[in-house]
């Protein structure tokens, strides 16, 4: 397997989300929304083309892998949907899926998001730089 990365003169999405270099700028809500829509379109196309159930082994990064798959090794469209959801949380929150420097209970983004939803405080998952700039219907 080969991964090909396109050269991006102003840096990658990760560079901007995690402010990795001096060119990094805060992405606006509209920019993030457009990124998420583009990712979702690519995701839908990938799912509709993947009708081959014979997979020798699944490779992936632990924080993006569906917990159901980790427990059962059973694949479904939800397996990829979970990974997409983690990426969307990263874009919304401007945080990595795992942050070893975060306080206890906030290291894993998915667990933090679940807690925010349970506590009916979904806005607390939003990137600090965006807070106050989102419309209520956003």
Q: Which of 136, 81, 83, 104 is nearest to 112 (CA)?
A: 104
d(CA 83, CA 85): 5
Active site positions, annotated: 51
pLDDT at 45: 59
Inter-residue contact 99 to 105 (CB < 8 Å): no
State the Cα torsion 63-99-20-65 to the nearest 10°.
Answer: 0
pLDDT at 42: 80
pLDDT at 1: 46
pLDDT at 97: 92
Give the pLDDT confidence of 55-81 residue by residue, as tens digits.
Answer: 555 666 778 888 888 788 777 778 888
Q: What percent of the chain shows pLDDT beyond 70? A: 79
Give the pLDDT confidence of 91-129 residue by residue, as tens digits.
Answer: 999 999 999 988 887 899 999 999 999 999 888 888 888
Q: Which residues pair with 108 in a beta bridge?
A: 98
pLDDT at 98: 92
pLDDT at 74: 78
pLDDT at 40: 85
């Amino acid at each position: 397997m080969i991964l090909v990365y396109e050269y991006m003169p102003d840096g990658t999405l990760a560079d901007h989300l995690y402010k990795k270099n001096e060119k990094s700028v805060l992405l606006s809500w509209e920019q993030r929304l457009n990124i998420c829509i583009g990712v979702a379109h690519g995701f839908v196309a990938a799912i509709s083309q993947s009708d081959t159930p014979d997979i020798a082994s699944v490779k992936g990064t632990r924080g993006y892998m569906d917990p159901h798959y980790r427990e059962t090794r059973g694949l479904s469209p939800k397996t990829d949907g979970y990974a997409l959801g983690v990426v969307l949380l990263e874009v919304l929150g401007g945080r990595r899926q795992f942050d070893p420097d975060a306080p206890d209970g906030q290291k894993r983004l998915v667990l933090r998001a679940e807690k925010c939803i349970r506590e009916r405080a979904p806005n607390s998952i939003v990137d600090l730089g965006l807070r106050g700039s989102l419309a209520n219907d956003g």
